[in-house]
A and B are shown apart, each in its own frame.
Chain A
Amino acid sequence: MPRRAPQGTQAVQRALGLLRSFTPEAPEHRLSELAAAHGLHPSTTHRLLGVLEAEGLIGRSPDSQAYRWVPGAPGAGDAEPSSRQNGLRPLEPLRTPFHRRTSARCESGAWRDWSGYTCVETYEPTPEREYWAIRNAAGLIDVSPLFKYEFSGADAERLLGRLMTRDFSKSRTGRVMYTSWCNEEGHLLQDGNVQRLARERFLVSAAEPCLRWFEDCGWGMDVEVRDVSEEIGVLALQGPRARAVAEATTTGIDFGAMRYFDLAAGAVGSGAGAAPVTVTRTGYTGDLGYEFWVAVEHAEVLWDALVEAGQDHGLLPAGLLALDMVRVEAGLVLIDVDYVSASHAEIEVLKVTPAEAGLGFTVKLDKQADFVGRRALELEHERGPAWAMVGLEVDWFELERLWSEIDLRPQVVGQPASREPTPVFAPGGWQVGQCTSRFFSPLLKKYVGLATVHADAAAPGTELDVEVAVGYGRRRARARVVRRPFFNPPRKTAVDATPGVDE
């Protein structure tokens, strides 16, 4: 509950003075003690501390009524990288390292939980401008809640070879590989990116925790797997102007030569305050874009630099709703929405193989290393997958036809992507699958969706029926199976010089 600050510069000075009392060495102070030390009336002290607390600059101690230093809060004594200390005060929401910046811009007050973090759903009341910024200028998305695991040691590559369906003997330092990982039955656990930072050092990003799985699979190997999720903040800079913004802020990286899924180290900002960053040419938008990986203590420097440079390029911070819209256009599947991780699936039918989740291209059966799930996936390869992830498209005339039944023009724009699974039918017939993500793309001018359907209904051009909401009713709209992605601009992979090889 924010409290009102006392007026005037004196109050600011006093507040800063109080804040400076909190250091890692002296993290906790009682109200009475602070009031005495700063020569302030207890009620003034109480109000000032209230403001500092409401701003997330200080916290409360778990064990008493004392106030407490917050790791990473600027102004307070030097910040260590924040750790899972966060959880010490069990009722406090988790904040990403960009939270103070994102919250200052979040006009809508619309927040969503992402892996326990409070994240912006839309900055403005509707996501449209943020969506268009990504497609037409640049969007800046805080994706810090991703789980991140650092693999280091002589056997790091070997462990990845065992865990992952991709072939890591082919990975090179300075490259990122997108991969799936499965359980013994070949059922998909997760998908994610793996950065090769050095010969013996990798960074795996994942949507859900998986330290235990990684550690157990690496039993007996010379590799350390470390959960660095809370040590690294991540900003995705995405859209046609992403490169211009990146170039204006970052030193030490030749963006013109950077290929899709390349990785480079550089710095953002200048002088003593410069923030070392790792930049990957990756993203979840299907557009030109980069992801900036930064130690949490430098997070705000990065944000400020990108936002400031971005002003000249139409950059807007974008929330999760806009991200969800563009990732559907890019045909990218989302865990727990388009597929269920085998480690979460309560019943067998919910489990899928990578091929069934549309990630068959990540499975390299010709690789040398024996990997978890290989036998099952080889069998599947012989037999063919039972299900397929397809793109579905409903064209404009079909939408007009349905809406004219209730005497309206199609009411489809301005709606965020829906994640409620709806049935997909053979034309006029039985259910053949389900559509798990869909929306009307104002860019493509079509209603597009991702659906899991029986393999024999998956050929491009196949006609299927999907349920769409028309007024209060549900109607079956005729859809066509199309290849994913729905949107795939050349700029996504373009490079200046001789084009590189895409992974």
Chain B
Amino acid sequence: MTVEPMAVDGVVSGTPSRGGGRFDAIVVGAGHNGLVAAAYLARAGLDVVVLESSPEIGGATRSQEAFPGFRFSVFSYLVSLLRPEVIHELDLVRHGLLLVPTASTLNPLPGGDCLFREADPQRTYRHIARHSRRDAEALFEYKLEMRRMGHLMYRLQRAAPDELAAAIGDRVAESAEHLDVEVSAEVADIARYFLDLSPVRLRSFVQMLTMSSADFLGQWFESDVLKAALSSSSIIGSMLSPRTPGSAYVLLHHYMGEIDGAYREWGFQKGGTGAVAATIARAARSHGAEIRTHSPVARVLARDGRTAGVVLANGDELRAGVVMSSAAPQISLGRLLDPEDVPGGAGAGLVERAARWQSGGCAGKVNLAISGLPRFECMPEPGPHLSGGITIAPGLDYVDRAYDDAKYGGFSERPFIDMIIPSVLDPDMAPPGKHVLSCFVQYAPYELAAGSWNEGQREAFGDAVVRTLAEYAPGIEDQILHRQVLVPPDIEAIAGIPGGNIFHGELRLSQLFLLRPDPAAASFRTPLPGYYVCGSSTQFGGGISGGPARLAALRVLDDLRRPETAGDGGGAETP
């Protein structure tokens, strides 16, 4: 695969020369979270450098002109989880954020039938009533409840889990004596909100943490097609079937999204998700942050039990009292950390737990350049449905079987496919009259029972996707001009995510809240004072959100202001 990097102003390659390699803070990884962290630190006046191992920025948010005239959103494709705070505090609109909403979802069904959900609730009611009138009504109440749950998650996301736990503990114990954490008014407020949750709401929350999405949705709906359609969000990026307990949480994760307060809205960034990274990079640079590609970090440097900087793969040393890593735990808490450096003998356990982190990939991406708009059997003519999401998930059994293939080490012969047609939303994505079709596909395990992925298997996987598409959009196979097939090892190689899991680690209760990415690092602080984690594997991470990095950066700034509370080792000094 030839990768043509999209140019971003002012991003430079190689080792920084500035200041003899001394900075206030170093950020490892120029994915969108790393860039958000750098932007917040630079905005607060720190001298920051971002070090990215690959030739370009963006991590899993990147666009690429893979074939002349055709631009792909290589991996991630839609934006919804991006925190409003990040948009406003970093002034992202000024730096290029432009989200075009995808207002509808089409689920083509066998035999030319379909399930269509539009922005207009009345019309959506009619579409669903064709399958079940009861469900058409229930959808409204379901959405209302999910909106409330989304709001609950919104509150949760505003605080680091340890702070929140402390605040809740505070309230429960009604005595702060035994607690060491000073809690802001806002966190106290969130804690109060949780303690005041009605039993009904609490029930929904616990259900979402523990149930399978099929069971959860089964409480509301009777029609298989609607349950399958709604369960899509519960398996995205996860090695789970809608029938696996815990999948309801993944559903909830996707319901945290909004655009401008409009719940569950998804948008396409003009230019593809790479433009999101470029936008944040511009914001970071506008505050003076420096961004370096081709700069793999080999190790975090420690002196006297605290962070002192990093060592690059080429041996160069860069100094800083604060290092933030946006990479996955296997890297941040594994490879980059010498257990010996961690004070109090906490290092070995940390490194060992990081190795056991569950982040096997399950999804592939098939990006197609096509000669014209696809003609779906259910709605062959061009229309608004082509500017929304289009999902092949015609029934729960279908998705469950697709999962079964992967469970036994194969890719799905008839996969779940979540599509958008970026060129309908943004004509700059393809030459006039031609289009790009972005297919997010499950399941494709990181390791195949037949051995590791090779070119033949990759192509067979691509063929399965095209074959499946052709069942619903006959003729698509003849419209394909170019095809890019990416499977978890490619995600690992290009975006630097070990295992290729799109969220840097499964979103399951064992890897959430106080356990994400590790019990000793749930506050974004690691046991090595001055070293922080800030990527998708941290609190509420996963997806283009910027939320974890923002909270992490705010915590860094707070620690710099209040050195006595920083880190388990205590006694951190302002750099």
B130 touches A87 (CB 8 A): yes
In the assembled complex, how far is the CB of residue B52 from the closest CB belonging to chain A, in whole angstroms?
A: 42
B575 within 8 A of partner (CB)? no
In the assembled complex, how far is the CB of residue B219 from the closest CB belonging to chain A, in whole angstroms?
A: 13
Q: Which residues of B contact A212 (CB under 8 A)?
A: 133-134, 137-138
Digitize B104-135: 1 where CB-to-A-CB distance is under 8 Å, 0 elsewhere. Answer: 00000001111010001011011101100110
A90 touches B133 (CB 8 A): no
- Contacting B at CB under 8 A, from A65-90, are 65, 84, 86-88, 90
Binds A, one of B374-382, B508-516, B541-549: B374-382
A90 touches B379 (CB 8 A): yes
Q: Which residues of A contact B112 (CB under 8 A)?
A: 62-64
A91 within 8 A of partner (CB)? yes
Q: How far is the CA of A29 from the CA of B130 in the complex (A)?
A: 23
Q: What residue in chain B is nearest A117 (Cβ atoms)?
A: B122
A502 within 8 A of partner (CB)? no
B327 within 8 A of partner (CB)? no
B141 within 8 A of partner (CB)? yes
Q: How far is the CA of A85 from the CA of B380 in the complex (A)?
A: 18
- Select which of B114, B126, B141 is within 8 A of A86 by beta carbon: B126
A346 within 8 A of partner (CB)? yes
B378 touches A62 (CB 8 A): yes
A169 within 8 A of partner (CB)? no
A500 within 8 A of partner (CB)? no
B385 within 8 A of partner (CB)? yes
Q: What residue in chain B is nearest A60 (Cβ atoms)?
A: B381
A115 touches B137 (CB 8 A): no
Digitize A196-214: 1 where CB-to-B-CB distance is under 8 Å, 0 elsewhere. Answer: 0000000000000111110
Q: What residue in chain A is nearest B148 (Cβ atoms)?
A: A346
Q: What residue in chain A is nearest B263 (Cβ atoms)?
A: A346
Q: How far is the CA of A116 from the CA of B129 in the complex (A)?
A: 12
In the assembled complex, how far is the CB of residue A151 from the closest CB belonging to chain B, in whole angstroms?
A: 15
B113 touches A346 (CB 8 A): no
A215 within 8 A of partner (CB)? yes
A343 within 8 A of partner (CB)? yes
Digitize B132-147: 1 where CB-to-A-CB distance is under 8 Å, 0 elsewhere. Answer: 0110111011001001
B137 touches A113 (CB 8 A): no
A344 within 8 A of partner (CB)? yes
Q: Which residues of B contact A60 (CB under 8 A)?
A: 381
Q: How far is the CA of A405 from the CA of B437 in the complex (A)?
A: 61
B384 within 8 A of partner (CB)? yes
Q: How far is the CA of A311 from the CA of B126 in the complex (A)?
A: 36
B125 touches A346 (CB 8 A): no
Q: Which residues of B contact A116 (CB under 8 A)?
A: 120, 122-123, 125-126
In the assembled complex, how far is the CB of residue A99 from the closest CB belonging to chain B, in whole angstroms?
A: 15
How many chain B residues have a CB neighbour from A under 8 Å? 31
Q: Which residues of B contact A301 (CB under 8 A)?
A: none
A94 within 8 A of partner (CB)? yes
A88 touches B380 (CB 8 A): no
B383 within 8 A of partner (CB)? yes
Q: How far is the CA of A344 from the CA of B147 in the complex (A)?
A: 12
- Contacting A at CB under 8 A, from B225-263, are none
A227 within 8 A of partner (CB)? yes
B380 touches A65 (CB 8 A): yes
Q: In the complex where A88-B130, A211-B137 touch, is A63 in contact with B125 (Cβ < 8 A)? A: no
A87 touches B380 (CB 8 A): no
Q: Which residues of A contact B114 (CB under 8 A)?
A: 62, 90
A211 touches B141 (CB 8 A): no
Q: What residue in chain B is nearest A347 (Cβ atoms)?
A: B148
- Contacting A at CB under 8 A, from B129-175, are 129-130, 133-134, 136-138, 140-141, 144, 147-148
Digitize B338-350: 1 where CB-to-A-CB distance is under 8 Å, 0 elsewhere. Answer: 0000000000000
In the assembled complex, how far is the CB of residue B152 from the closest CB belonging to chain A, in whole angstroms?
A: 13
A210 touches B140 (CB 8 A): no
- Contacting B at CB under 8 A, from A10-39, are none
In the assembled complex, how far is the CB of residue A59 from the closest CB belonging to chain B, in whole angstroms?
A: 13
A94 touches B126 (CB 8 A): yes
Q: In the complex where A63-B112, A343-B140, A346-B147 touch, is A113 in contact with B133 (Cβ < 8 A)? A: no
Q: Which residues of A contact B136 (CB under 8 A)?
A: 209
B126 touches A113 (CB 8 A): no
A91 touches B122 (CB 8 A): no
Q: Which of A64, A87, A94 has the most CB of B within 10 A?
A: A87
Q: What residue in chain B is nearest A94 (Cβ atoms)?
A: B126
- Select which of B129, B138, B384 is within 8 A of A87 by beta carbon: B129
Q: Which residues of B contact A94 (CB under 8 A)?
A: 126
- Contacting B at CB under 8 A, from A199-253, are 209-213, 215, 227
- Contacting B at CB under 8 A, from A161-184, are none
In the assembled complex, how far is the CB of residue A225 from the closest CB belonging to chain B, in whole angstroms?
A: 10
A113 touches B122 (CB 8 A): yes
A213 touches B126 (CB 8 A): no
In the assembled complex, how far is the CB of residue A373 from the closest CB belonging to chain B, in whole angstroms?
A: 17
Q: Which residues of A contact B140 (CB under 8 A)?
A: 343-344
Q: How far is the CA of A124 from the CA of B120 in the complex (A)?
A: 27
Q: What residue in chain B is nearest A64 (Cβ atoms)?
A: B380
In the assembled complex, how far is the CB of residue A315 from the closest CB belonging to chain B, in whole angstroms?
A: 30
Q: How far is the CA of A392 from the CA of B379 in the complex (A)?
A: 51
Q: What residue in chain A is nearest B128 (Cβ atoms)?
A: A87
In the assembled complex, how far is the CB of residue A218 from the closest CB belonging to chain B, in whole angstroms?
A: 13
In the assembled complex, how far is the CB of residue B481 from the closest CB belonging to chain A, in whole angstroms?
A: 24
Q: Which residues of B contact A86 (CB under 8 A)?
A: 126
In the assembled complex, how far is the CB of residue A211 from the closest CB belonging to chain B, in whole angstroms?
A: 5
Q: Which residues of B contact A113 (CB under 8 A)?
A: 120, 122
Q: Which residues of B contact A65 (CB under 8 A)?
A: 380
Q: What residue in chain B is nearest A215 (Cβ atoms)?
A: B134
B126 touches A84 (CB 8 A): yes
Q: What residue in chain A is nearest B378 (Cβ atoms)?
A: A62
Q: What residue in chain B is nearest A209 (Cβ atoms)?
A: B137
Digitize B1-26: 1 where CB-to-A-CB distance is under 8 Å, 0 elsewhere. Answer: 00000000000000000000000000
Q: How far is the CA of A371 from the CA of B112 in the complex (A)?
A: 45
Q: Which of B137, B378, B383 has the most CB of A within 10 A?
A: B137
In the assembled complex, how far is the CB of residue B193 from the closest CB belonging to chain A, in whole angstroms?
A: 13
In the assembled complex, how far is the CB of residue A394 from the closest CB belonging to chain B, in whole angstroms?
A: 34
A115 touches B144 (CB 8 A): no
Q: How far is the CA of A227 from the CA of B123 in the complex (A)?
A: 17
B129 touches A84 (CB 8 A): yes
A62 touches B113 (CB 8 A): yes
Q: What residue in chain B is nearest A343 (Cβ atoms)?
A: B141
- Select which of A62, A64, A211, A346 is within 8 A of B134 by beta carbon: A211
Q: Which residues of B contact A63 (CB under 8 A)?
A: 111-112, 377-378, 380
B385 touches A91 (CB 8 A): yes
Q: How far is the CA of A62 from the CA of B377 in the complex (A)?
A: 7
Digitize B266-309: 1 where CB-to-A-CB distance is under 8 Å, 0 elsewhere. Answer: 00000000000000000000000000000000000000000000
Q: Which residues of B contact A344 (CB under 8 A)?
A: 140, 144
Q: What residue in chain A is nearest B151 (Cβ atoms)?
A: A346
Q: List 28 A-B contacts (CB under 8 A).
A: A60-B381, A62-B113, A62-B114, A63-B112, A63-B378, A64-B112, A84-B130, A86-B126, A87-B126, A90-B378, A90-B385, A91-B379, A91-B384, A91-B385, A94-B126, A115-B122, A116-B120, A116-B122, A116-B126, A209-B129, A211-B137, A212-B134, A213-B137, A227-B133, A343-B141, A343-B144, A344-B144, A346-B144
Which 7 A-B pairs rank lowest in CB-CB distance, beginning with the nearest?
Answer: A63-B112, A116-B122, A90-B116, A212-B134, A212-B137, A87-B126, A87-B130
B residues adjacent to A (C-beta < 8 A): 111-114, 116, 120, 122-123, 125-127, 129-130, 133-134, 136-138, 140-141, 144, 147-148, 377-381, 383-385
A residues adjacent to B (C-beta < 8 A): 60, 62-65, 84, 86-88, 90-91, 94, 113, 115-116, 209-213, 215, 227, 343-344, 346
Q: A113-B120, A209-B137 are in contact. List 9 more A-B contacts (CB 8 A).
A: A60-B381, A62-B112, A62-B378, A63-B112, A64-B380, A87-B126, A94-B126, A116-B123, A343-B140
